Copies of this chain bind each other. A is one copy, B any other.
Amino acid sequence: MRDTFHDELDQIGTELVEMSRLVAAAMSRATTALLDADISLAEAVISDDARVDATYRDLEERALDVLARQQPVATDLRTVVTTLRMIADLERMGDLAQHIAKVARMRYPTSAVPAELQDTIRDMGAVAGQIVAKAGAVIATQDTTRAVELESDDDVMDTLHRRLFSALLSEDWKHGVEPAIDITLIGRYYERFADHAVAVARRVVYLVTGEMPEPASTA
Protein backbone atom coordinates (compact mmCIF):
# COMPACT_ATOMS: atom_id res chain seq x y z
CA MET A 1 0.00 0.00 0.00
CA ARG A 2 2.68 2.49 1.04
CA ASP A 3 4.87 1.52 -1.89
CA THR A 4 2.10 2.07 -4.40
CA PHE A 5 1.49 5.42 -2.80
CA HIS A 6 5.09 6.52 -3.09
CA ASP A 7 5.37 5.19 -6.63
CA GLU A 8 2.34 7.19 -7.66
CA LEU A 9 3.66 10.26 -5.89
CA ASP A 10 7.01 9.88 -7.64
CA GLN A 11 5.24 9.72 -10.99
CA ILE A 12 3.29 12.85 -10.19
CA GLY A 13 6.56 14.51 -9.13
CA THR A 14 8.16 13.57 -12.45
CA GLU A 15 5.27 15.12 -14.35
CA LEU A 16 5.43 18.20 -12.15
CA VAL A 17 9.04 18.63 -13.31
CA GLU A 18 7.86 18.13 -16.89
CA MET A 19 5.18 20.78 -16.30
CA SER A 20 7.86 23.18 -15.06
CA ARG A 21 9.71 22.58 -18.36
CA LEU A 22 6.58 23.38 -20.37
CA VAL A 23 6.17 26.60 -18.41
CA ALA A 24 9.86 27.51 -18.80
CA ALA A 25 9.60 27.01 -22.56
CA ALA A 26 6.42 29.14 -22.68
CA MET A 27 8.14 32.00 -20.85
CA SER A 28 11.27 31.79 -22.98
CA ARG A 29 9.24 31.86 -26.19
CA ALA A 30 6.96 34.62 -24.89
CA THR A 31 10.01 36.77 -24.16
CA THR A 32 11.40 36.22 -27.66
CA ALA A 33 7.99 36.94 -29.19
CA LEU A 34 7.79 40.15 -27.18
CA LEU A 35 11.29 41.41 -28.00
CA ASP A 36 11.21 40.45 -31.68
CA ALA A 37 7.51 41.19 -32.28
CA ASP A 38 7.21 37.61 -33.55
CA ILE A 39 3.49 37.13 -34.05
CA SER A 40 3.55 33.44 -34.94
CA LEU A 41 5.61 32.64 -31.86
CA ALA A 42 3.23 34.72 -29.74
CA GLU A 43 0.26 32.80 -31.17
CA ALA A 44 2.00 29.51 -30.46
CA VAL A 45 2.60 30.45 -26.81
CA ILE A 46 -1.03 31.53 -26.45
CA SER A 47 -2.46 28.32 -27.90
CA ASP A 48 0.09 26.03 -26.23
CA ASP A 49 -1.08 27.17 -22.78
CA ALA A 50 -3.88 24.64 -23.31
CA ARG A 51 -1.22 21.93 -22.78
CA VAL A 52 -0.25 23.45 -19.44
CA ASP A 53 -3.91 23.61 -18.44
CA ALA A 54 -4.45 19.99 -19.52
CA THR A 55 -1.43 18.90 -17.47
CA TYR A 56 -2.84 20.84 -14.52
CA ARG A 57 -6.18 19.05 -14.74
CA ASP A 58 -4.57 15.65 -15.23
CA LEU A 59 -2.17 16.02 -12.29
CA GLU A 60 -4.90 17.41 -10.08
CA GLU A 61 -7.16 14.47 -10.82
CA ARG A 62 -4.33 12.06 -10.11
CA ALA A 63 -3.37 13.75 -6.86
CA LEU A 64 -7.00 13.70 -5.70
CA ASP A 65 -7.26 10.08 -6.75
CA VAL A 66 -4.17 9.18 -4.70
CA LEU A 67 -5.64 11.07 -1.77
CA ALA A 68 -8.94 9.20 -2.01
CA ARG A 69 -7.51 5.72 -2.54
CA GLN A 70 -4.43 5.80 -0.32
CA GLN A 71 -5.76 7.93 2.54
CA PRO A 72 -2.34 9.26 3.46
CA VAL A 73 -1.68 10.81 6.86
CA ALA A 74 0.99 13.07 8.37
CA THR A 75 3.90 13.80 6.01
CA ASP A 76 2.38 11.86 3.14
CA LEU A 77 -0.82 13.86 3.36
CA ARG A 78 1.09 17.14 3.39
CA THR A 79 3.04 16.01 0.36
CA VAL A 80 -0.13 15.49 -1.66
CA VAL A 81 -1.70 18.76 -0.54
CA THR A 82 1.54 20.64 -1.27
CA THR A 83 1.70 18.97 -4.67
CA LEU A 84 -1.78 20.31 -5.42
CA ARG A 85 -0.49 23.80 -4.62
CA MET A 86 2.59 23.44 -6.80
CA ILE A 87 0.40 22.35 -9.70
CA ALA A 88 -1.66 25.52 -9.23
CA ASP A 89 1.50 27.70 -9.10
CA LEU A 90 2.78 26.20 -12.34
CA GLU A 91 -0.59 26.60 -14.04
CA ARG A 92 -0.58 30.28 -13.07
CA MET A 93 2.97 30.69 -14.37
CA GLY A 94 1.74 29.38 -17.72
CA ASP A 95 -0.98 32.05 -17.67
CA LEU A 96 1.59 34.77 -17.03
CA ALA A 97 3.73 33.65 -19.98
CA GLN A 98 0.54 33.70 -22.04
CA HIS A 99 -0.22 37.25 -20.86
CA ILE A 100 3.21 38.38 -22.10
CA ALA A 101 2.59 36.71 -25.47
CA LYS A 102 -0.74 38.55 -25.68
CA VAL A 103 0.98 41.91 -25.22
CA ALA A 104 3.38 40.90 -28.02
CA ARG A 105 0.42 40.03 -30.24
CA MET A 106 -1.45 43.24 -29.39
CA ARG A 107 1.44 45.47 -30.44
CA TYR A 108 2.47 43.53 -33.54
CA PRO A 109 4.13 44.50 -35.90
CA THR A 110 5.87 46.76 -33.39
CA SER A 111 7.63 45.40 -30.32
CA ALA A 112 5.95 46.54 -27.10
CA VAL A 113 9.47 46.98 -25.71
CA PRO A 114 11.36 50.14 -26.76
CA ALA A 115 14.99 49.65 -27.82
CA GLU A 116 16.49 50.97 -24.58
CA LEU A 117 14.54 48.43 -22.49
CA GLN A 118 15.16 45.37 -24.66
CA ASP A 119 18.20 44.32 -22.59
CA THR A 120 16.34 44.64 -19.29
CA ILE A 121 13.39 42.59 -20.52
CA ARG A 122 15.77 40.03 -22.05
CA ASP A 123 17.43 39.74 -18.63
CA MET A 124 14.05 39.37 -16.91
CA GLY A 125 13.19 36.58 -19.34
CA ALA A 126 16.54 34.91 -18.63
CA VAL A 127 16.07 35.14 -14.85
CA ALA A 128 12.52 33.82 -15.22
CA GLY A 129 13.94 30.86 -17.15
CA GLN A 130 16.63 30.18 -14.55
CA ILE A 131 14.28 30.44 -11.64
CA VAL A 132 11.73 28.01 -13.06
CA ALA A 133 14.50 25.60 -14.07
CA LYS A 134 15.78 25.70 -10.50
CA ALA A 135 12.26 25.22 -9.14
CA GLY A 136 12.00 22.11 -11.34
CA ALA A 137 15.38 20.88 -10.07
CA VAL A 138 14.31 21.46 -6.47
CA ILE A 139 11.17 19.38 -7.07
CA ALA A 140 13.25 16.64 -8.70
CA THR A 141 16.08 16.52 -6.16
CA GLN A 142 14.41 17.87 -2.99
CA ASP A 143 17.68 19.74 -2.54
CA THR A 144 16.76 22.52 -0.15
CA THR A 145 20.14 24.28 -0.54
CA ARG A 146 19.24 24.93 -4.17
CA ALA A 147 15.90 26.33 -3.02
CA VAL A 148 17.77 29.16 -1.31
CA GLU A 149 19.31 30.12 -4.67
CA LEU A 150 15.87 30.98 -5.98
CA GLU A 151 15.51 33.68 -3.37
CA SER A 152 18.58 35.49 -4.71
CA ASP A 153 17.39 35.02 -8.31
CA ASP A 154 14.16 36.63 -7.16
CA ASP A 155 16.16 39.56 -5.79
CA VAL A 156 17.76 39.95 -9.22
CA MET A 157 14.28 39.97 -10.74
CA ASP A 158 13.20 42.71 -8.30
CA THR A 159 16.26 44.78 -9.24
CA LEU A 160 15.46 44.43 -12.94
CA HIS A 161 11.85 45.32 -12.20
CA ARG A 162 12.93 48.52 -10.43
CA ARG A 163 15.17 49.32 -13.40
CA LEU A 164 12.08 49.23 -15.63
CA PHE A 165 10.31 51.76 -13.43
CA SER A 166 13.41 54.00 -13.37
CA ALA A 167 13.40 54.03 -17.17
CA LEU A 168 9.68 54.82 -17.31
CA LEU A 169 10.08 57.69 -14.85
CA SER A 170 13.27 59.08 -16.34
CA GLU A 171 13.27 62.37 -18.24
CA ASP A 172 14.59 60.41 -21.20
CA TRP A 173 11.34 58.46 -21.54
CA LYS A 174 10.03 59.63 -24.91
CA HIS A 175 7.43 56.97 -25.65
CA GLY A 176 4.44 58.37 -23.80
CA VAL A 177 1.79 56.56 -21.83
CA GLU A 178 0.77 53.53 -23.90
CA PRO A 179 4.21 51.85 -23.95
CA ALA A 180 4.53 52.76 -20.25
CA ILE A 181 1.32 50.83 -19.52
CA ASP A 182 2.61 47.84 -21.50
CA ILE A 183 5.94 47.86 -19.67
CA THR A 184 4.21 48.21 -16.29
CA LEU A 185 2.06 45.16 -16.96
CA ILE A 186 4.87 43.14 -18.53
CA GLY A 187 7.08 43.88 -15.52
CA ARG A 188 4.34 42.74 -13.20
CA TYR A 189 3.93 39.47 -15.13
CA TYR A 190 7.64 38.63 -14.88
CA GLU A 191 7.68 39.51 -11.20
CA ARG A 192 4.65 37.35 -10.42
CA PHE A 193 6.10 34.49 -12.47
CA ALA A 194 9.23 34.60 -10.30
CA ASP A 195 7.12 34.84 -7.12
CA HIS A 196 5.30 31.64 -8.03
CA ALA A 197 8.57 29.85 -8.82
CA VAL A 198 9.89 30.88 -5.41
CA ALA A 199 6.63 29.67 -3.87
CA VAL A 200 7.15 26.25 -5.50
CA ALA A 201 10.66 26.01 -4.07
CA ARG A 202 9.47 27.10 -0.63
CA ARG A 203 6.81 24.42 -0.67
CA VAL A 204 9.46 21.79 -1.33
CA VAL A 205 11.51 23.16 1.58
CA TYR A 206 8.42 22.92 3.73
CA LEU A 207 7.92 19.29 2.76
CA VAL A 208 11.53 18.40 3.49
CA THR A 209 12.04 20.41 6.68
CA GLY A 210 8.50 20.65 8.01
CA GLU A 211 8.97 24.39 8.44
CA MET A 212 5.77 26.23 7.54
CA PRO A 213 6.51 28.96 5.01
CA GLU A 214 4.79 32.35 5.04
CA PRO A 215 1.94 32.57 2.50
CA ALA A 216 4.14 32.63 -0.54
CA SER A 217 1.88 34.85 -2.60
CA THR A 218 2.30 37.76 -0.22
CA ALA A 219 5.41 38.98 -2.01
Contacts and interface: CB of A to CB of B under 8 A. Distances in A.
Interface of A: 49, 53, 56-57, 64, 67-68, 71, 73-74, 77-78, 81, 84-85, 88, 91-92, 95, 165, 168-169, 173, 176-178, 180-181, 184-185, 188, 212, 214-215, 217-218
A78 B91 CA distance: 19
A169 B178 contact: yes
A181 B178 contact: no
Main SS at interface, chain A:
helix
A181 B88 CA distance: 29
Contact of A181 (B57, B81, B91, B168): B168
Given A64-B81, A67-B81, A53 B218 contact: yes
Identify the 4 closest CB pairs spanning chains A and B, nearest first: A184-B184, A71-B71, A177-B180, A181-B184
A165 B181 contact: yes
A85 B173 CA distance: 42
